[in-house]
Amino acid sequence: MTVPHEQKPHQESLSLESIAVLADGQGKAVINAAINAAMRDTEDRGEDGKARKVTVEIELKKLGDDNVTATVKAKTTLPPYVTKPTIGRIGMEGRKPRMLFSPASAENPDQPALPNGTED
């Protein structure tokens, strides 16, 4: 059975306000790093209209009879990086279907590459 302990003057109680000082201040550092990553991506690609998310998790584990550990985890969820579509035609190689596209034009599978201006 857990024995309750009296709070000593130098101790803090775990709360929203004290998360920042967990692990010698690493709690604040990992949360701020996740926020900064989400903000960087919002500034870089935010015109896509999608939300960036920061999830903070506090993991508590019992350690022995009367101790507990607290671990702070912060995760950033960013939208995937996506290219514009490339249009291709369906072609066959033997009996295998293939996508045939032009590397010179994502919009036109029949667009040949422009001449580079040098003659052989």
pLDDT in tens, 30-59: 999 999 999 999 999 999 999 999 999 999
Contacts of 51 (CB under 8 A, 6+ apart): none
Q: What whole-number distance in Å separates Cα of residue 17 and Cα of residue 92? A: 64
Segment 80-101, tens digit of pLDDT: 998 899 999 999 999 999 999 9
The neighbour count for residue 86, using CB atoms within 10 Å, is: 13
How many Å from the N-terminal Cα to the C-terminal Cα in the chain? Answer: 88
Segment 70-80, tens digit of pLDDT: 999 999 999 99
Q: What whole-number distance in Å separates Cα of residue 34 and Cα of residue 120? A: 55
Q: How many CA atoms lie within 13 A of 23 on its CB side?
A: 14
- Band (pLDDT 50/70/90 cuts) for residue 115 is confident
